[in-house]
């Protein structure tokens, strides 16, 4: 069944590339990630003692097709609404004009102040958890203690960060937005002292990510760099020819693959320092990270038992937790899925792909509806970013929300993180569109 799953996903990937004629496309990226995961499972499943069922192959392969359908539905609506209206006419007129890169005059003083805020936040975070990390004799022990501290601030709730929880979120978005500013400045004017200053908040957030154990920051940074740089470069006069644009797209797709390789190297080093990875089992651990969710999904969904009658307890658990802040509500928010799956050959994982929550709450109908909604969301972002003449806020949002798509085989990060995603969306939009971080715009 592992071979069949790999073949099905490969066929879907090839068809998507042929039809869409793009490599930097949400649906192509999703299928590429799932294909890599299927390859890892095909190579290591015997070593792990895992054999997926035909039903798992059906559920996971068709889930991607339902996402395709949701994406296509959004694009159909967008194309229909644009047809014959003033917006489309203006867009056609803009396409006939020579492309001019807008220059964003970002305040370097505000970039420095943002960096100071991020560094202060790191210091406060470390001071709150000083009992866990003081006395570490080396970087390995320090990293392990940081992971223990991270667990206490998240799942256990033993450490309350208070308002600093929200300041950390703001800092993370500052890192993303300033990276966008730095890439745009570099692509427009080349390397300069200003670019170095604009990169400072992003570098500080990267350090914060290591300390807080936020592994996704490197992936998000890579996505921002690739999508923003490509958007700026492909719109320049140098790439008016269709063949040149395709070569450029492939170049950035390869850059993305290289970034993934560097990211996994970082994960391996961080995991080794934290004592989670055997230094002799690097490739096996990478395969577990890529493919383990598929095997875990197959193991868990067939024997899942419900512990609550709440509508969509797994899928909408974070919404129930948010409602519990209001005194009138008292929902049971305990996860009904907390199984860690163990196999042979060092296999151990507690992630089950994005689809287990949907199956647990609503059965296969949940897989259909939720994946269609995810596809519609990405279709909306893709359409908005495509209609941007310049690399702007929608290009950044499109790149940023590729992260849960890249994590599709690990965990569900759309509905399960809905309030956080809303905060990220609003924060990025405000920081880029409003003159908070600018001196002024030069048109």
pLDDT score, position 16: 92
Q: Which residues of 178-198 are buried (b: 16+ CB within 10 A; e: fewer)?
A: bbbbbbbbbbeeeeeebbebb
Q: Give every CB contact of residue 18 below 8 A, 6+ residues apart in sequence.
A: none
Within 10 angstroms of residue 81's Cβ, the number of other Cβ atoms is: 11
pLDDT score, position 443: 44
With the C-alpha atoms ordered 259, 261, 262, 266, is the resulting torsion angle positive or negative? positive
Number of H helices, E strands in the chain: 18, 4
Q: What is the pTM of this model?
A: 0.85
pLDDT score, position 283: 74
User: pLDDT tens digits, the chain, 443 residues: what are they?
Assistant: 889 999 999 999 999 989 988 888 999 999 999 998 899 889 888 888 888 889 999 999 999 999 999 999 999 988 877 655 544 445 554 444 444 455 568 889 999 999 999 999 999 988 887 777 777 667 777 777 777 777 777 665 566 777 888 899 999 999 999 999 999 998 888 888 999 999 999 999 999 988 887 878 888 998 999 889 888 877 765 666 666 667 777 777 777 777 766 666 666 666 655 555 555 566 777 788 788 888 888 888 777 665 567 787 788 888 887 788 788 877 777 666 767 777 777 787 877 788 988 888 888 899 999 999 999 999 999 999 988 888 889 999 999 999 999 889 888 889 888 888 999 999 999 999 988 888 755 44
pLDDT score, position 97: 44
pLDDT score, position 86: 46
Q: What angle do CA 377, 180, 33 make, to 5 degrees?
A: 45
Structure tokens at 338: 């907390």
pLDDT score, position 118: 94
pLDDT score, position 292: 84
pLDDT score, position 316: 83
DSSP secondary structure letter of residue 239: G
Please report the DSSP string for 300-342 in residue order.
HHTT------STTTTTTHHHHHHHTTSTT-------S--PPEE
């Amino acid at each position: 069944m592992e071979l069949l799953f790999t073949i099905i996903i490969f066929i879907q990937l090839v068809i998507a590339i042929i039809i869409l004629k793009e490599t930097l496309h949400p649906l192509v990226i999703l299928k590429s990630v799932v294909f890599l995961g299927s390859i890892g499972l095909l190579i290591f499943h015997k070593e792990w003692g895992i054999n997926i069922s035909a039903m798992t192959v059906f559920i996971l392969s068709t889930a991607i097709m339902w996402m395709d359908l949701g994406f296509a539905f959004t694009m159909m609506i967008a194309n229909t609404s644009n047809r014959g209206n003033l917006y489309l006419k203006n867009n056609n007129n803009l396409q006939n004009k020579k492309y001019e890169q807008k220059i964003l005059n970002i305040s370097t003083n505000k970039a420095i102040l943002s960096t100071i805020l991020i560094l202060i936040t790191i210091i406060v975070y470390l001071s709150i958890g000083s009992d866990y990390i003081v006395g570490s004799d080396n970087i390995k022990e320090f990293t392990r203690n940081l992971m223990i501290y991270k667990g206490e601030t998240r799942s256990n709730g033993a450490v309350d960060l208070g308002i600093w929880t929200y300041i950390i979120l703001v800092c993370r978005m500052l890192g993303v937005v300033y990276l966008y500013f730095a890439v745009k400045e570099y692509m427009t004017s080349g390397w300069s002292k200003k670019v170095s200053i604009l990169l400072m908040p992003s570098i500080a957030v990267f350090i914060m990510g290591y300390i807080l154990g936020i592994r996704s920051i490197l992936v998000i940074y890579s996505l921002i760099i690739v999508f923003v740089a490509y958007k700026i470069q492909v719109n320049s006069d140098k790439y008016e020819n269709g063949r040149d644009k395709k070569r450029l797209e492939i170049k950035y797709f390869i850059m993305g693959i290289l970034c993934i390789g560097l990211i996994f190297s970082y994960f391996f080093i961080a995991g080794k320092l934290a004592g989670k990875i055997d230094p002799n089992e690097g490739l096996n651990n990478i395969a577990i990270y890529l493919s383990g969710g598929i095997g875990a999904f197959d193991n868990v969904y067939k024997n899942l038992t419900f512990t609550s009658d709440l509508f969509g307890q797994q899928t909408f658990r974070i919404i129930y937790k948010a409602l519990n802040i209001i005194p009138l509500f008292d929902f049971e928010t305990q996860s009904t899925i907390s199984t860690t799956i163990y196999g042979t050959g060092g296999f151990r994982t507690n992630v089950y792909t994005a689809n287990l929550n949907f199956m647990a709450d609503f059965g296969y109908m949940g897989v259909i509806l939720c994946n269609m909604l995810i596809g519609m969301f990405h279709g909306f972002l893709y359409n908005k970013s495509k209609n941007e003449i310049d690399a702007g806020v929608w290009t950044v949002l499109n790149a940023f929300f590729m992260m849960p798509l890249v994590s599709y085989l690990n965990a569900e990060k759309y509905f399960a993180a809905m309030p956080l995603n809303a905060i990220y969306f609003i924060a990025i939009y405000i920081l880029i569109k409003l003159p908070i971080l600018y001196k002024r715009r030069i048109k």
